[in-house]
Structure formats: C-alpha cells, structure tokens
C-alpha cells in the first residue's frame, strides 16, 4: 500500500485516498472534440512517472496533485491542487 | 501430434511415463510470417489455432516475452459464464461458452471445464429487478438463466449466510447452470499444442521491442530474437496493450489497472458452484484442488506493477466471510495480481486499427478468461479477412469517439463510480 504525504495532514495510508484521473485528463468546459476524446478515452496510460489527480477522501477531503511512477510505485511529489506543477 | 487418450495414459503407466513426447516445438523465429501475434496468452494462442484450423493460415508465429500463459491467463479466477444483458456481450460470450463446451475434445486436451453453475446474488429489491431483466434478456437470446428463490438457495448452498441479519442480506439470485470454471493453464497449453500441431510457431522468451513501419504500414516487429517480418501483426497482450500500440504511435482508450485474486488452503468440497455478487463485487468458487478462490474490486489506481495493495486482501476476505461465515477459519494461502487493460466502457476491443497491417485485441477488463475461445475465433477471422466477424464488429476501437460504447454496468476502470 502506498504511503502518501498529504500536504495538509502528513503521511497517510493509501486506503484514505482515491485516485481520480491523470492530471492531463482534467476536462474544462471549452475543450475541442479531439482534446475531449483524448482526455476521456485515449489517455497516455504511462508506464513510468506522471502527474495524477488524487483526493484525500477519508482525511481532509482535499484534492491533490501526485507525481507517481506506475511501474515501481515511487511518489516523488504531492502538492495541493492549486499549486503549479514544476515543469 | 501424439494423441492423448485413456489408452495412452495406460501405456504411460506401464512404461514408467517414458512414452510422452514434448507437447509443442521450440522453434527459432523465421524471417517472415503471414501473421504475427504478439502475446502468448490464451487469447493469442487461440487466435493462432483458429487461424490455422478455420482459415488455413498456418505460417503464423505467436511471440511471447516470457513463458506462455504466464500473464493474465495464469492470474485470473477461471470463471466461465455468458450471463450478460446486452446483446453484443451475451452473443460474444455465449458463442464462447459453446466453444468451451467442446474445447477438450476439439483440442484433445483436458481443460477441466466444469459446468457447475455461476450464480449472481441479489441483495435488495432493485438488485432482483436488475437480475430479472438480465435473466429475461438472456432467455430471449436462448441462453440458460434461472431465478433462484430463497428456498432454492437454502437447499443449494447451505453454507451461505441467508439470515436476516447478515452483513450483506441475500434475497434471491440468478443462476446460469451452464457457467462454471476451467483449468486456466491447461487452456494455454491445449491451444499451444493444437496450434503447434497445425504448423504454428510458438516462440517463447521473445519480447517485441518495436515495430517496423513502411509508409504508415506495419511490415514486421523488432524483437529480442531479431527482426521478424509479417504481412499482418496482431496485438494480444492485455495489460500492456498501450505499451505495444505505442510502438506504432497509436494511443488506446485503455488504462492499466491491477486486479488481485486469492486462494485459501485446500479443504474438502464445500462450495460446488461459482458465487458472485455484483453489488458488493466479490466472487468465490472452489478449485478442484479444494482451495477457495476469491476475487473482488480492482486496486482502483493505474499501475503496471503486478503487486497488489494489501488492504484489498482484507476487504475481499471480509466480503467472502460475510457471504460464507464458514470461511472465517481458513488460512489464506496465496495472493497474486495481474495488470489488466481497463477500457472506458468495461468491454473489450477486438478489431482493426487506423494503422495498416496492425490489429488489436485487448481491453478485457475483468472478463478475459471466459472469452478465450471466442476472442481467438473472432480475432482470427479479423486477421484473416481484414475485417471483423459479426460477433466482434461492435467491439471496435473507434466506438468511444462515435459514442457507440457497450457499457453493461457503465463501470470501466472505476466500478465504485457506478
């Protein structure tokens, strides 16, 4: 089980969190149709590190940006959702 | 191919088991094949078998990066059923079930297909309405389905907690008597042996690293055992479909998630059919060895690790013990995990791709094992004719952008969002 360091609550077990979607797949009201299809369906599905949107559902209920490797489970950053991701 | 029979068993018993030949060859890859299938699981091997048997295309290679049947074919809970409500799904899975019924004879290999019945439990009035609709849809399509009352359940499954104060109260069920289980390894081995006998090269320890493209058309694959040319290439690597498709610059409507399964220590026969609950999403059966086989929700976040989260073990064990309190004293023997292709409507993708010469079979979500023969049959047809069979035509890659999704539960990778 992952140990996720919530910026509000500190390190907590994965059981308190829920994965929502890749960060690149957040849909805005002004998407073009090709972008919408890519965000909803043809996602990158990376085997390696990427940014994801998670929620500390059973903790502070805050939305979080998580930089996580889908192959070795390493988490290198957890940010509040309103903070810019480093490029 | 050396035929297996009661007589050959007897002969083996009398000569110290020295008369057995190897079941399939270990060929080196040729320079060129008519069809290359990437992925030596049950689906890929079945595809090769039906290509050779039904379509007469025998210059075929199945490329497997490790050993055949070592991926999700060997990691599932071996349940076979066709109890779907939507026509596209129950037509495909019922065709599959009929192939299962003749598979051991067809392959001359005992796949230990056991039609012990597959039961969906109902926990509420709305569950029972949904199950009745499902059963009606099945019966209208000529598929067996029977509604089970509490009295029938009490007789059939005395160990089930049918009391009023059960954690998950049960009010009825829908049974498919022809559903059941099969021996998963035997399915891979049986198809490999039968395909090999028809001239198919089953090539193990051969990982595909890239695709050769000429003018937007796939002409072959680069592998750890050299470059191999092909007229047609079929991807059949559920779990890693996106990774292989990316070699041809193709993005798929698939997210890779983890599904776990568990077995207890073996005990004497106590559960003689497959019991599933769609509402709590747990399934239980007993293997022929006596182990209680259990499964539940996926791990609910994308991963390729093939390592499951431990809280899922506790969750599934809790659900199964609530259904069958007698399981509480059993010790867990093993747990394992498989990376599954989760498509966004919960249904598979079998068909052509925008890349010429490249075909796709993947996105099997929770339900790939039971589809093995139909998946192979329809994929072989698609690879041989260059267009889908009527059974897999609805399962096209472009259905997500056109809106023609096949969403039996509307679940996809996130069943808890239902």
What residue ranges define each of the domains in chain B, with the CATH number in brackets? 29-82+84-109+183-254+345-417 (3.50.50.60), 118-180+256-341 (3.30.9.10)
State pLDDT tens for residues B189-241: 999 999 999 999 999 999 999 999 999 999 999 999 999 999 999 999 989 99
Structure tokens at B115: 């039609």
Least confident of B279-293, B346-360, B397-411: B397-411
Residues 6+ apart with CB under 8 A from A15: A1, A58, B311
Burial B221-251 (b: 16+ CB within 10 A, else e): bebeeeebebbbbbbbbbbbbbbbbbbbebe
B chain contacts of residue A13, beta-carbon cutoff 8 Å: 311
Return the closest-CA partner of residue B382 out of B361, B400, B354, B405. Answer: B361
Q: What number is the ipTM of this complex? A: 0.93
Least confident of B51-60, B149-158, B356-365, B406-415: B406-415
pTM above the 0.80 mark?
yes
Class level of CATH domain A3-80: alpha beta
pLDDT of residue B411: 60
Asked if the C-beta of B237 comes within 8 angstroms of chain A's C-beta atoms, the answer is no
Structural domain spans, chain A = 3-80
Site from A2, A23, A55, A70 to mutate, B interface, most B CB atoms within 10 angstroms? A70
B chain contacts of residue A31, beta-carbon cutoff 8 Å: none
Q: How far, in Å, CA of B271 to CA of B293, rounded?
A: 10
Burial class (CB in 10 A: 0-12, 13-18, 19+), B323: buried
pLDDT of residue B410: 57
State pLDDT tens for residues B30-62: 999 999 999 999 999 999 999 999 999 999 999
Of B302, B307, B309, which has the smallest distance from its Cβ to A45's Cβ?
B302
State pLDDT tens for residues B283-338: 999 999 999 999 999 999 999 998 899 999 999 999 999 999 999 999 999 999 99
Q: How far, in Å, CA of B259 to CA of B200, rounded?
A: 31
CB-CB under 8 Å, B301 with A19: yes
Asked if the C-beta of B253 comes within 8 angstroms of chain A's C-beta atoms, the answer is yes
Alpha helical stretches, state H, B161-256: 184-197, 241-246
State pLDDT tens for residues B110-126: 999 999 999 999 999 99
Min Cα–Cα distance to chain A from B250, Å = 9
């Amino acid at each position: 089980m992952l140990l996720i360091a919530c910026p509000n609550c500190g390190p907590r077990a994965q059981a308190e969190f829920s994965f929502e979607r890749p960060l690149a797949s957040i849909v805005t009201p002004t998407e073009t149709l090709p972008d919408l299809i890519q965000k909803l369906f043809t996602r990158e599905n990376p085997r390696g590190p990427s940014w994801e949107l998670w929620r500390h559902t059973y903790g502070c209920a805050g939305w979080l940006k998580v930089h996580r490797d889908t192959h070795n489970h390493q988490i290198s950053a957890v940010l509040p959702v309103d903070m810019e991701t480093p490029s | 191919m050396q035929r297996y029979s009661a007589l050959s068993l007897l002969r083996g018993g009398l000569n110290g088991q020295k008369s057995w030949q190897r079941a399939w060859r270990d060929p080196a890859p040729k320079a060129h094949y008519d069809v290359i299938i990437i992925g030596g699981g049950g689906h890929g091997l079945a595809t090769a078998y039906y290509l050779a048997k039904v379509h007469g295309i025998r210059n075929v290679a199945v490329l497997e990066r490790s050993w055949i049947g070592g991926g999700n074919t060997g990691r599932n809970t071996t349940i076979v059923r066709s109890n779907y409500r939507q026509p596209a799904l129950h037509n495909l899975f019922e065709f599959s079930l009929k192939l299962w019924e003749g598979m051991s004879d067809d392959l001359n290999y005992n796949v230990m297909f056991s039609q012990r019945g597959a039961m969906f439990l109902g926990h509420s009035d709305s569950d029972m309405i949904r199950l009745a609709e499902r059963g009606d849809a099945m019966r209208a399509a000529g598929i067996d389905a029977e509604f089970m009352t509490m009295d029938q359940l009490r007789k059939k499954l005395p160990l089930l907690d049918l009391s009023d104060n059960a954690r998950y109260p049960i009010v009825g069920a829908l049974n498919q008597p022809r559903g059941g289980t099969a021996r998963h390894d035997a399915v891979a081995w049986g198809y490999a042996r039968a395909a090999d006998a028809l001239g198919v090269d089953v090539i193990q320890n051969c990982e595909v690293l890239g695709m050769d493209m000429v003018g937007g058309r796939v002409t072959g694959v680069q592998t750890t055992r050299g470059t191999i040319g092909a007229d047609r290439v079929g991807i059949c690597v559920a779990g890693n479909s996106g990774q292989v498709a990316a070699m041809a610059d193709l993005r798929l409507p698939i997210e890779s998630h983890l599904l776990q399964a568990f077995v207890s220590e073996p005990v004497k026969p106590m559960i003689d059919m497959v019991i599933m609950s769609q509402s709590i999403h747990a399934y239980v059966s007993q293997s022929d060895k006596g182990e209680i086989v259990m499964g539940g929700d996926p791990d609910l976040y994308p991963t390729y690790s093939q390592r499951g989260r431990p809280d899922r073990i506790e969750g599934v064990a809790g659900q199964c013990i609530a259904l069958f309190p007698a399981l509480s004293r059993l010790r867990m023997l093993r747990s394992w995990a498989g990376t599954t292709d989760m498509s966004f409507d919960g249904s598979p993708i079998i068909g052509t791709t925008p890349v010429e010469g490249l075909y796709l079979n993947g996105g099997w979500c929770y339900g790939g094992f039971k589809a093995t023969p139909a998946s192979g049959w329809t994929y072989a047809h698609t690879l041989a004719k260059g267009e889908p069979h009527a059974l897999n035509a609805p399962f096209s890659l472009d259905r997500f952008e056109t809106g023609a999704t096949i969403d039996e539960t509307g679940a996809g990778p996130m069943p808890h969002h239902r």
